[in-house]
Amino acid sequence: MDLLQAILLGILQGITEFLPVSSSGHLALARALVGRELVPGITFEIVVHFGSFCSIAFYFRERLFAILKDLFTSLTPSGIKAGRLRTDGNTRYSFIILLSMIPAMLVGFTLKDQVEEIFMNPVMVSGMLLVTGTLLFSTKFVKHPKNEVDVKRGLIMGVAQAFAILPGISRSGSTISVGLFSGVKRESVADFSFLMVLPVLAGAMLLELLEIAQNGIEYGAVLALIGGFVASFTSGYLSLKYLIILLRKDKFYLFSFYCWAVGIAGLIYFI
């Protein structure tokens, strides 16, 4: 893999990871189109996933630092004695994030084989993109939600994240859309949607590292790996920033037209 290929794949990872267009759906359709596996190796996968992870952490660095600081303070003996586990807002927020992971974990471990079959079915993937487009367009009719994320709404967004394991169903698109319909205000729904995926990305990287430990390391050109990381981080950060701007301007639904176009084109080509 040369540097240019690494940069292009890193950009693709960063853009589709955060914009509500389904990165897994694009990968499945591209693989069906060219007839071969597109991922250049698990080492590169870890690098670009780490780039996406870092872009979220950097964008939300102040909020993330405050959450972790208050969580660790609440878990100290003095914090437990003072009852911070029940009363501190950031500590409750971190527990809601952990709770939101449960549905995706259950689906991931129980339906792994079925999901892999869908990856091999470009017609099904194209149909899921149409579903994503419809879900995104429906947010146009959400008025002005004013609530914050609580346990109930966080779990609902977690269920939406579990459905997004299907290729063609956008993770950010489904969680943000469902969050808006559950009444979470626009300023808060994007924050939770992307903070809740940090443990998921961390878990994905851990599984990939475990696979490396079992099968050995695939060494690639260092320059290509660096290029992939930088491209994934930069494109991910810009995509995340752009998405939140559109969300706050009530323009989130515009991504529906792209998903519909790709989904329809896929159905026409693969049927």
State residue 183's pLDDT score. 94
- Domain containing residue 258: 3-270
Nearest one of 217, 197, 236 to 44, comparing CA atoms: 217
Predicted confidence (pLDDT) per residue in 59-115, tens digit = 999 999 999 999 999 999 988 888 888 889 999 999 999 999 889 888 877 876 677
* Positions of the chain with pLDDT lower than 50, given as ranges: none
pLDDT score recorded for residue 152: 95
pLDDT at 30: 78
**Which pLDDT belongs to residue 221?**
65
Q: Report pLDDT for 106.
A: 85
d(CA 151, CA 92): 9
How many domains are there within the chain?
A: 1
Long-range contacts of 186-193 (CB under 8 A, 24+ apart): 186/145, 186/247, 186/248, 186/250, 187/248, 188/148, 188/149, 189/145, 189/149, 189/157, 189/247, 190/243, 190/244, 190/247, 191/60, 191/63, 192/96, 192/97, 192/100, 192/149, 192/154, 192/157, 193/157
Q: CA dihedral defined by 123, 128, 134, 136, rounded to 10 degrees? A: -140
What is the pLDDT, as a whole number, of residue 95? Answer: 93
